[in-house]
Amino acid sequence: MTVLLSDIDRSSTVSVSLSEEVVLELQENPSTGYRWTIETTGESVKELASTYAPSPFAGIGGGGRRIVRFLATRPGTTSIRAALRRPWEQPDRTINQYAVTINVAGSDDADDE
């Protein structure tokens, strides 16, 4: 099963099971230089991939979505934080922030494979 997170899940806590995929989708317009920087605290989820999908209705320079895929790999809690900023600017120049807490339920026995 896949759990889809977006802007409406900001500051929430989400529970998932081991081996579930968590997909985070946030609005982004990299032509402006602003991109989401993702950080995780905890070891319950592992980032699998980060991609950008332009909106099919946006013209040149239009926005789209940053899509980040995670996998729940062990029981516990992980915080996923994202900052929308230009990579060459200082972190205090962040124009938007996102955070969500992921609680992974399951047994450690699943790691013995």
Least confident of 18-22, 58-62, 98-102: 58-62
Average pLDDT, the chain: 91
Q: Is the pLDDT of residue 91 over 90?
A: no
* Token code pair at residue 99: 């955070």
* Domains delineated in the chain: 2-108 (2.60.40.2020)
| pLDDT of amino acid 106 | 81
pLDDT number for residue 112: 44
pTM: 0.87
Q: How far apart are CA 76 and CA 29, in angstroms?
A: 33
Band of residue 1 on the pLDDT scale cut at 50, 70, 90:
confident
Radius of gyration of the chain (CA): 15
pLDDT at 15 over 50: yes
- Cβ proximity of 30 and 23 under 8 Å: no
- What angle is formed at CA 2 by the lines to CA 29 and CA 101, rounded to 5 degrees? 70
pLDDT, tens digit, 9 for 90 and up, residues 29-67: 988 999 999 999 999 999 999 999 998 877 777 789 999
Give the pLDDT mean for 82-94.
91
Q: Say which residues have a Cβ less than 8 Å from residue 48's Cβ, sequence separation at least 6.
A: 21, 69, 70, 71
CA quadruple 43, 77, 26, 11: dihedral positive or negative?
Answer: negative
